[in-house]
Each structure stands twice: as C-alpha cells, then as structure tokens.
Amino acid sequence: MSKYYDGSRILATHSTYNILLGQRANGKSYFVKKECVKEAFLGMGELIYLRRFANLELKEDDVRDYFRDCPTEEITAGEYNFIDVYHSRIYLSNIDESGEVTRGKCIGRTAGLSKAGKLKSAIQRGQYKNIIFEEFCTDEGYIKNEPKVLQQFVATVFGVQYTGRVWMIGNTISRYNPYMFTWQLRKTMDMKPGDLDLYRFKSAGEEDATIAIEFCSAVESNSSMYFGNDAKNITEGVWETNEQPAVPEEFGKFSVKYRVQIIHQDFNFMLKLIQNTKKELMILCCYAEKEEAKRKVSDQPSGDPWTTTRLLPLTQGDQIMLDLLKKGKLVYVNNLCGTDFNTILKSAAFL
C-alpha cells in the first residue's frame, strides 16, 4: 500500500477522458494539479479548473486553497512560490512574508459547468491543454443532461481541431452517476481499488475517443479517528454508504409473497413482499438482484402490460406494497443496496 496516489498508470493510457475515483485525501487531486500546472508552466497549454456551480464552488479564496498544496516552487524551479486567482484567471505568483501577492504568468482560468454557455466568447481554442473537473461525483444532484453539457463545454474549449485532456476527479460518494450510464461505462459499479479500465469509442476525428477509469488504490492510513460505517470509505475508498433499515431479527424466518423488479439505468433491484412464517408480520425488502420478475417498473417505456414507469396498483400485491411504503415498512438487504436505491429515488420518482 503506497503513501500517496501515483498517476503513472492512467497517464500511460494517453486517454482523452481520465476518471479518478477513490478515497478522500489520497493524493489524486494533488497529482492532477501538479501535472497540469507543470504543463501550463512549460507552455504546453493552460488549464481550466471546472466545478459544477460557479457561484457556490469557485470563490477566489476557495480556488486559492485548492491550489495551495501544489508544489509551485518545485515545478517552476523557484521562479514562483504561490498560485493566485483574480477575476477567474489563475496565475503563477509570488507571495512575501507580509502576504502581498505579485502575479506572474497566467496558467489558466476557472469555469462553472452550469454557466458554461456564457464562456464561448472568453475562450480561445488551442489555448488550453487540460480541464480539471473536481468532485464530479455527488449525492446532491446533477445538472440536467450533465454528460451532454460537459461534452458541449469540452467542444467550446477544444473545438474540432484541437485535442486536450479532461480529468474527472471524484470521491466514492455514490454509485449512481449519469456519466457511467450515458457513456456506457458498464464495469464501474463492480470496480475495486487498484482496478483500471479503458473504453474506446468512435469519434468524429481520425482517432478513437478513449476514457480511462482508475479506482485508485487505497493509501496508508494509521489514523484512529474513524469508526463505524464511514471508516472503510474514508480509509479504504470503498463506496460510501449510509446506515439503512434491515429485516429486524424478531421477524424470524419468512417467505416471499410477491415480487416487483425495479430497473433504472444500469441498476436492478427486486422489491420483495415478505411475510414471517407465523403470518403475523409483513414488510417490504429491497434486494440488489438481476433476476427477472413478471411485474416490472422500468425507466424505459414498454408495451408489456406488466411493465410501468411507476409502481401502480395493477395487482393486490402492488397495493399492499404501496400501503407498506406509505407506512415506512421498507428495509434493505444491505447498506449499499439501500444507499443506491435512495440516491436514485431523489431524481427518479418511480414509487
């Protein structure tokens, strides 16, 4: 287990899109910042620091803090010791002991994806080499059609004649992510720390577009600060989960009375109406299963009369499920299943 993330493997793929997933504070952002600042300093092309919402995430002090750990003196051989931001521009700078900043070479700019359309007149094609999209994984909602919006922004920056690199950096917050589905990155949900997958797609140019995804290996953690359900996400980078209600121990042995398959993008759940063997209690349990059921709720419209886009009372079993949902009688086979299911519910009301 290494001390910090080493991005040499993903660099060697020479990919257009480079997606880094993994634990917090493992050095993946540090690696990307250092690489992009170095290339900008050497005149290979400027960088764009991209966040989802400019007004919330791109305040000048926040951007300075983001670049504060970048080894500016090392990169510039002592020419600069600080990175400053002023009016959305990013500068190699010098800061003295009193805190006075002298700005030098401009190495890039900031941009908010939600307002990317307003930047067309401000961006000169051929000027930029790297886009750093930080915290692209979220559990607080995405911009409508966000993968398309990102590609349109990339087209604004690079046009059809220039090729650059897009770095997408995310902590393992949620497996529900529109990029994975829209770009058909099917293996992502099953990746483990240390895995690197490469996808190739036909592009409008002579070469294929390539997307590399690395689930960054966990780095050493000797801290005793973390415990409970969150500890593995923080120290090992496994997918973040929240505590979810499970089948209570007193429920005892049970049988399955009715099943509804829930299909949303690449996620497949099975809602099972279960009753204990004494027939005293009945609850609804959600499983992450890929088996088939006759009754389906799918995000894709179907001509099948047993498939609907919402859970509707087509049968007595449907009605019992709906009643149990209103009473909060829904439990989950494990925390990951429950976290995925509830995250999807925030943007897809299929119940």
Where in 202-333 does DSSP place strands (E)? 209-215, 254-264, 267-276, 282-287, 296-298, 307-308, 330-332
Mean pLDDT of 5-30: 92
Contacts (Cβ under 8 Å, ≥6 apart) of 131: 47, 48, 50, 153, 154, 157, 164, 165, 166, 167
Q: How many CB atoms lie within 10 A of CB 282?
A: 17
| CA distances, 150 to each of 17, 136, 142 (Å) | 11, 11, 11
What does the longest C-alpha to C-alpha distance in the chain come to? 78
- H/E run at residue 54: helix 54-57
pLDDT in tens, 333-349: 999 899 889 888 877 77
Measured between alpha carbons, how far is 229 from 212 in angstroms, rounded to an integer?
29
How sure is the predictor about 239, in pLDDT bands with cuts at 50, 70 and 90? low
pLDDT in tens, 195-219: 999 999 887 766 788 999 999 987 6
- pTM value is 0.76
The whole-chain average pLDDT of the chain stands at: 88
Closest by CA to 294, choosing from 283, 282, 285, 304, is 304
Axis crossing angle, helix 28-41 with helix 60-67, rounded to the nearest 10: 100
pLDDT value at position 150? 95
Domain boundaries defined on the chain? 8-236, 249-347
Would you say the C-alpha torsion 48, 51, 56, 60 has a positive or negative sign?
negative
- H/E run at residue 50: strand 46-51
pLDDT value at position 181? 84
Mean pLDDT of 165-171: 94
How sure is the predictor about 55, in pLDDT bands with cuts at 50, 70 and 90? confident
pLDDT value at position 220? 60
Query: What letters, b where the CB count within 10 A reaches 16 and e where it falls short, cover 110-141?
Result: bbbbbebeebeeebeeeebbbbbbbebbbeee
Answer with the residue of higher pLDDT: 276 or 350.
Answer: 276
Contacts (Cβ under 8 Å, ≥6 apart) of 66: 29, 33, 49, 134
Q: Answer for the pair 137, 176: CB distance below 8 angstroms, yes or no.
A: no
How sure is the predictor about 50, in pLDDT bands with cuts at 50, 70 and 90? very high
pLDDT value at position 12? 97
Answer with the residue of higher pLDDT: 280 or 194.
Answer: 194
Mean pLDDT of 76-86: 98
Q: What share of the chain is helix, strand, coil (3-state, %, to 5)?
A: 30, 30, 45
- Superfamily for 8-236? P-loop containing nucleotide triphosphate hydrolases (3.40.50.300)
The conformation of residue 326, written as its DSSP 8-state character, comes to H
Mean pLDDT of 229-254: 71
Mean pLDDT lowest among 37-46, 50-59, 301-310: 50-59
